[in-house]
Each structure stands twice: as C-alpha cells, then as structure tokens.
Chains A and B, each alone.
Chain A
Amino acid sequence: MSTIVSELSMNDLNNKFFEIMQSESNAEEAANFIYDSVFDDVTVGFLFEFHHGLKTGLSDLLEGEKEDDDVYKIVNTPECDVFGFSIMKKTPDSNCSCPNCERPVSATRFAPHLEKCMGMGRNSSRIASRRIASNSREPTSYAGLLSDDEDDADWAGGSLQSERRKRRIKNNNNRKPNKLHNGNNRNNNGNQSTDADGGATYETMTANEKKNLLLQICGVVSEHTKKLCTRSTRCPQHTEEQRRLLRNTVLEPSTPESASMTGADEAGSPPDSSPSSSCSSSSRKRDRHRPPPKMKNKRERVSPNDRD
C-alpha cells in the first residue's frame, strides 16, 4: 500500500478543518453536507439490500408461499379457548409412558406416580428401603426400582395392567399398614428379603455399596429407630451437617471418595459454577460468593413449601 500517496497530510487536514469551521455559515454548510451524506448512504444501503434480494433470488427464497392459515385461526368466542375447546369441559385424559419404569400412566396422575417411582416423596422411605434390601444398584439409575404396584393407583390400560387392576381391587379390601409382602403377587421379585424395612445397616455393606447408597439417600441414622433415613440427599429432616458427619464416619477409610460425594449429582457435572441461586442476599447464597459476608436478613429468600 505504499503506493498510495495522500493529497493532504493529517496535519494539513486538521488545520484546514479548524480554519473553515471558524465561519458559522461554513459550519452550517458542513452540518448539512454531513446530514445529506448520511442520508444518501442509508438510502443507498436500503436500495442495495432490495436489489441484492431481487437479483440473487434471495427475497423469493425467503418469502416462499404463505401457508394457508385458516385452520390455525384463533377462535374468538367467550365459551372457548383459542383452539376452540370449551372452557367448561375438562381436557380428556391420556396415557403417557413413564420414562422411569416404562409403563403407561394416566397423564393427570403422572407427577404423583413419578414421585413414588423415583423413590421420592411420602412413600419414598419404604420404597427406598426395599431398594437397599434388594442390594446396590447403579448409583444414578432408578430403572431397577422394585415394583410398587399394590400401592399405585396410577396404572391404566393395557392387558398387563388390567390384570394388575383386578389384583389391586382384590387387595383394596385388606389394605393394612403391613401389607408389604404378598409373595404370590411379587413374581418378578422373588428374591426379595422379607424384613427389608429394618434390615439395612452400614455394617453389612461393602464400601462401594455404601458409597452408591449415599449418593441416593440421606442416610442419617435415626437415634430412636436406629434405621437409616431413606429420603433424598436433600431431605429436610436432617441437616447438611448431619449428612456430612455421617458420611465422614461411614466412608472414613476411603477419604478421596467422600470428598467428591457431597456435590456429585451425575456424571459430567458442569465445568462452570452457575448462578443458580437468586441474587437476593439469601441464606442459601452459595459459598463461592466471596466476601463481604451476607448479612441482609431482610432479603431472606422465602418461597412456598420451602422446607429447607
């Protein structure tokens, strides 16, 4: 580019500029000139875009043909929603396949089913006890969860299910707290220990079993019943401190594992910590938030059913 020789040096330009701008009429003329130039540039830009679209066929490609949208028109009547469904009528229920146990479940009852199926919630403790008894499974897979069908009113449809339903109806009459084991019906889990509920202790488990188990459940040992807590690792009954203590004791010989345990949720945990707590100075604010320490109690984060 050394061949380009400029007519004026920067210095010349600057001097000339100030000289010319001394005069008010020149300044006004310059302002008009700049405005006109910008205006022309913008106009030409618009024309170029239009020309480009026409000449290359891009406009036609993008535009295509408008789909006939009569079938999608919003229904505007007070007794219907936008799709034309009556707002009085309940939506028809349908079945969905539970991603956890692969069985068909009534959609409107899916959440309570999944809660139990994944071993959480009200009945989780008993289900999880059976899981312990049936021995260690894959740490994160719940597919191997024992069936819980006597209790589960969610099954619907399917030949297999109708058989279950009959059975359930039959069982319905003699539902007792201790209805757990009906050997004849549990054809797929014949190997199950019958005193599962109380049987599990850390003493009988291998280090690996203990580790896997503690990835899934709270595990704090009750002072009264001497049983281990089978709620989730975030169970509200016990504190993080209790869980940490328990893990330190139970997993003592293998310290490297216990260090990685507490946060381990799944394989491939995030490379980056995320701002997953809200930014109000909250009691839950993460540790990584650096000083100054949080002390705005008035911004305590609260939410319904926040049982922590």
Chain B
Amino acid sequence: MNDNGCIHLSNFKAAKGTNPYKIVHAFFVSCTSFEARRYKATSCLCFACGQPGPRMHSCLHCIYFACYAGHIQEHSKSKKHFLYVDLSYGNVYCTQCQDYIYDRELTEIAMSHRLKEAKSLGISAPFMPWLPNTNEALALRRLRKRRLISPHTTIGLRGLQNLGSTCFMNCIVQTLIHTPLLRDYFLGEKHKCKAQGTGKCLVCEVSKLFQEFYSGAKTPLTLHRLLHLIWTHARHLAGYEQQDAHEFFIATLDVLHRHCMNGVEDTEKKENGRCNCIIDQIFTGGLQSDVVCTSCSGVSTTIDPFWDISLDVAGPGSLQACLERFTRAEHLGSAAKIKCSKCRAYRESTKQLTLETLPIVASFHLKRFEHSSQIDRKISAFVSFPAELDMTPFMSSHRRAVDVGVDNNNAPEGIFEDNRYSLFAVVNHLGSLDAGHYTAYVRQMKGSWFKCDDHMITRASLREVLDSEGYLLFYHKTVLEYECDVS
C-alpha cells in the first residue's frame, strides 16, 4: 500500500520534522489534555471571517486557522504555504498535489493522540481500522485470494470424531471455536508462544484447531492430542467414563488460562493486579457478595472472579427468572450467624449476590443434575432462554439504584452502559443420567445456526435452538467497547 505522503510533504518533514503536525494535532484535532481542549474551544475560529466553519483547517507552516470555504486556500496561495491540516480528522491537504495525502508516520502520530484523547476524557478508546504493516501488506499483495465466511458455505464448520464417549469435549470445543472474540484472537494469530512446537501448549493446539475449522476441509477432526493435553494438565478429569461438559469447560478454560502465560514476559502478565490473558479478558466477570448485618445494617462486600454462573432450575421457568432469584437478597437465618465486624458479635444477616463486572462471554450452567446421598436425578424442567438478553437488572450498580429508590430513568450509574448479550451457543444433554449424549447448537454468524452432533453438522433454526432443553448457555456481549491501554 502507498501511504508515504507526497514529495512536498517529505521535503517539509526533512526541513521541519513532524513537530508542527504533532502540535497542531495534539491541540486542535485530538485534544490530549484539558489545556488543549481549552485552546481548541477558544481559538478554533477562521482568522479571516471569524466563523467556526465550515471545515476548519490549520496551516502547517505557520499559525493560521481558516475555514474551507475559501479562506484557507487564500492563505495558502498568498503565503505559498502548501500544506494544511483538517482539524476534524487530522488529514493533510497538499495544494501542489491538489488532494489529501496520507503519510504513515503522521497517521501513527494521529492514532496515538486519539488514544491519549480518549484516556484524557476517561472514555473508551475509539475504533481504529486495522492498518497492515510493511510485511503484512506484502503478504496481502502476494496472496490475493480471500476466503469469505458466508452463511452458504461450510467454512468455519467441522465435524468432530467421537473418541469413545467424548461428546462432552466435542460440544465444548464447538462452543469455543464459535466464540466470536476468541475466533478473532486466534485467526489474528495473536498467541505468541515460547513453547511453540513442543506440543505441550493447549493454546497452540486450539490455535491449530481454528486453522483446521477454516481450512475448508470436510472430514471430521480427531481431537486426540487435545484430549491428552487437557487430561495431562487437569488430571482430576482423566479417566471418568463419561464426563460432565460443564466440568470439562471450566477445566479447559483453566488450562488455557495457565498456558496463555507461556509466551508472556513476567512484567506484562498483570495489569492492575488482574490477569489480562485472552481467557480472562473474555470469560472473567466479577461477582459481588453483600452481607448485611440485621442488627446494625453494616455491609460487608466482597468481589470474586467468576467464569460462569450456575443456576438452580427447579421452580423458575426462564433464564431471567433464574437470574432474578440468583441475585435476590436472602435471609441467612439463625442457624447461620456471621460475625459482624461492626457489632463484634455473631448476627443474623442477609446475603445478596450481584454482578459487579460482566464478562464479554456470559456462560450459564443450568443445574440439571442433582446428586445427593439419597438420590441422583436429572431435572428436565423447561427453562426458556432468550436470543437477546439484557443483563442490566442483575448488575450491582442497578440493584443499588433500585434499593435506594432512585427512579430508573435517572439511574446515576451505568446508564450509558450497554449490557445487551446475544446467544451464540447452547450445549444440550440428551437422555438420562447414566446413558446420555451431548450435542451443541452454535451460531456461525448472525441468524445462521448449526447443530453439532459429534461428526454430524446440520443446519438448525433459531426456533429449534430456543426450544431445546438447554444445559449450558453461552451469550456474547452485543456491543464491544475498546479498552484504552495507553500509559
């Protein structure tokens, strides 16, 4: 790609460097500080007509602001100042080339300023389209063919061989492969591994799996290496004749999380004391537990990380009702007194669980299997679950606002947060407790669902998915925000 500006800009940079652009950009395009915002607010008026537009530009050679309705052009002509900067986006116009020109060096300055601006305002980072570097551009030129994911092809779908009661694994693998953000991570080859090629890293193995799923091959895959790796690193799972898909899911996340650290320097491992590996970025949320002493009303709050939420299914008929019950305050009774730090005595208390932070992928486990000393049974009660789910009512901030009696329309916190989630995978358990089979429904793209039954992949309708029993439900955040990681 050609983003080396033009000869006139190159001459200008040779004489004056990039500093003039940096200053104009940091103060009048993307304000990187409060001071800059003040300058922009007070001085971005056309020096000729005093108007704030249309389309303000700044001369790159001297300090001169003018509108695009003729005044910046006049200034350029009379002073022979050929380059001026558009103050909305920071693009440079060259009057000798008679066009806006794009220079990689200036683009990179602009991108870093946009991040700093977002950070300075305390808002999430703006979306910035991907720009290939030199090597990536070369590769794109050399390999012209593009494989598109469409609802009409099998690209991204693959059957999985049953290795002898391993449907529990196949379901979880299908779910992980169809997790949108995880797919972007692996197809973007973001996992850099020190243990590469040793066959010991589960993340590398999953990375290979993604390549297989998108290779276009149609024969079922055999996940023997994956099973071996997981059993090796989660030994408590190995050897069960038939396993629980939920247990396998959690163990797999755990091993992936541990192996993500293979390629990471110690210094990068944690940010603000929390792990920022891809698994934690996608799957980890924070569960808040408030214990309120009934005598003094003192609150003791703790926040614990979670990867999934296990919900009782007896009683409520929908996922929302299950969540409602999960986050309801519960009186702990006289048999379970807790030592209140304020009263310095054991008191009766109430406990309430709420979601303090939401993960990008919300995983729900419907507790359909009951094991007790008296009875082992499967609860096949119907629990409806929606295709689109709003998690706001189960958030700590929302519950707090409700308790204080704040009008919902004026909720002080979280009003700008978008907590909508979309269903993208459902794991089902068919049959009885001791002779069962797992299948999964996965969403390949919006509106395009498939049923994965080991090696057999067939089309499914959303209706069919929503009517299924449901054992594990996976929701993906509908709108993603970008994190600002500028130091």
Contact = CB atoms under 8 A, between A and B. Distances in A.
Interface of A: 1, 3-4, 6-10, 13, 37, 40-41, 44-45, 48-49, 51-52, 55-58, 61-67, 69, 71-74, 76, 81-85, 87, 91, 94, 96-100, 105, 107-115, 118, 120-122, 124, 140, 232-234, 265-266, 268-272, 274-282, 289-293, 295-296, 298-299, 301-307
Residue among A51, A118, A274 with the most chain B CB within 10 A?
Answer: A274
B250 A276 contact: yes
Contact of B241 (A76, A121, A271, A290): A121
B468 interface: no
B224 A99 contact: yes
Given A83-B154, A278-B308, A232 B235 contact: yes
Contacts of A49: 129
Contact of A303 (B224, B244, B332, B456): B244
Contacts of A83: 154, 157, 159, 218, 457
B125 interface: no
Given A56-B102, A234-B235, 17 more contacts: A7-B43, A55-B101, A58-B1, A61-B1, A66-B148, A82-B457, A120-B238, A121-B238, A232-B236, A274-B275, A274-B280, A274-B305, A274-B307, A275-B284, A275-B306, A278-B306, A306-B371
Interface string B410-443: 0000000000000000000100010010000000
Interface in B53-112: 53-55, 63, 86, 88-89, 91, 99-102
A60 to B, nearest CB: 8
Interface string B334-354: 001010000000000101010
A7 B88 contact: no
- Chain B's interface size range is 35 or more
Contacts of B91: 48, 52
Nearest to A94: B222
B369 A282 contact: no
A302 B228 contact: no
A114 B225 CA distance: 10
Interface in B178-212: 199
A111 B146 contact: no
A284 to B, nearest CB: 10
7 contacts: A3-B63, A58-B3, A91-B161, A111-B163, A140-B232, A280-B310, A303-B371
B321 interface: no
A62 B140 contact: yes
B102 A111 contact: no
B399 interface: no
B218 A279 contact: no
Given A115-B239, A278-B307, A306-B244, A56 B3 contact: yes
A3 B64 CA distance: 12
Contacts of A271: 261, 266, 269-270, 275
Interface in B131-164: 131-132, 137, 140-141, 143-148, 150, 152-155, 157, 159, 161-164
B324 to A, nearest CB: 14
Contact of A292 (B86, B291, B311): B291
Contacts of B336: 295
3 residue pairs, one from A and one from B, having the closest CB atoms: A120-B239, A279-B306, A280-B310
A292 B63 contact: no
Contact of A304 (B45, B231, B257, B369): B369
Nearest to A84: B218
A280 B436 CA distance: 24
B246 A298 contact: no
Given A4-B39, A69-B155, A83-B457, A298 B224 contact: no
A270 B372 CA distance: 33
A61 B132 CA distance: 10
A280 B364 CA distance: 10
Most chain B beta-carbon contacts within 10 A, residue among A109, A111, A299: A111
Given A99-B228, A296-B330, A305 B55 contact: no
B407 interface: no
A279 B287 contact: yes
Given A83-B154, A232-B236, A276 B222 contact: no
B100 A74 contact: no
A96 B222 contact: yes
B222 A65 contact: no
B227 A111 contact: yes
A6 B45 CA distance: 10
B38 interface: yes
B403 interface: no
A94 B153 CA distance: 26
A218 B302 CA distance: 35
Contact of A276 (B238, B275, B307): B307
Contact of A74 (B86, B152, B429): B152
Interface in B1-25: 1-3, 23
Interface string B359-387: 00000010101111000001000000000
Contacts of A63: 146
A274 B241 contact: no
Given A6-B43, A64-B140, A304-B433, A100 B228 contact: yes
A71 B218 CA distance: 10
B224 A45 contact: no
A240 to B, nearest CB: 12
Contact of A232 (B238, B247, B338): B238
B166 to A, nearest CB: 5
Nearest to A45: B89
B289 A10 contact: no
B148 A69 contact: yes
Interface string B233-260: 1011011111110110011011001100
B338 to A, nearest CB: 5
